Structure 1
Amino acid sequence: MPDKGRILIIEDETVLRMMLQRLLLSQGYEVLMADRFQTAENQIKQESKVDLVLLDLNLPGGTGFDLIRMVKETWDVPVVVLSGMKQESSVIRALEEGAVDFMQKPFSPQELMARLKRYMPCGDVSA
């Protein structure tokens, strides 16, 4: 299966992070992962580029809102937030900081893939 692009997953929940990794790898994406704020910050500073960032807002060591800004300052790539935060203010703040989409946990893997395909450069190419 051809490489459809690189996705950085920033998620502290191990089970969810591994599920997302399996899902994205099975769809032909290259996957990078970070499980806390500092690891994500290092990935953003050290990686040449990714095509999309999947980001949780609640992370050990910092907030996802700061990471959205950091991603937007470093790369011109879409940020999709996956969060258990259900308050409208959190959704609005994430979008105002630069996220292109916000999905509340729990979410459907099929819906996530449909949304990601809208933002990926090779999203319309079938495998």
Structure 2
Amino acid sequence: MAKIIAQIILSGSQVLGRAFARALKQEYEASQEAAKMRGRTSRRDPRSERAGITLDEAKQILNVETIDDPKLIEERYKKLFEANEKVGSFYLQSKVFRARERINMELVSSQSNDGSKTKGPDLNQK
């Protein structure tokens, strides 16, 4: 009787071991494929690299559709920054700050691309 139980346990562990190895292999292949896909994407925007956030993420964080209205951006920034200051969430404050910083980079870049010499809104002031 003990011999049969030992064989059942051994067979079960072999089946589980093979299933685990197969799942691990599939996960490894999926991660390799994802790494290849990341390598094939277009060059990353250097402004996103510096700020650590994309323009789309920044717009989502500040809940704005476009970056055409600096007053709205500043208003949303102040509201979110102060709300998270009361709660004590440094992480969320930094996300809000980085979002405003990224949008400011885009505004400065678009002004320099337009060739205009006028200085845009200074979103770095608190």
Establish whether TM, by shorter chain, passes 0.5: no
Q: Which has the higher strand share?
A: 1
Q: Which has the higher helix share?
A: 2
TM-score of the aligned structures, taking structure 1 as reference length:
0.30
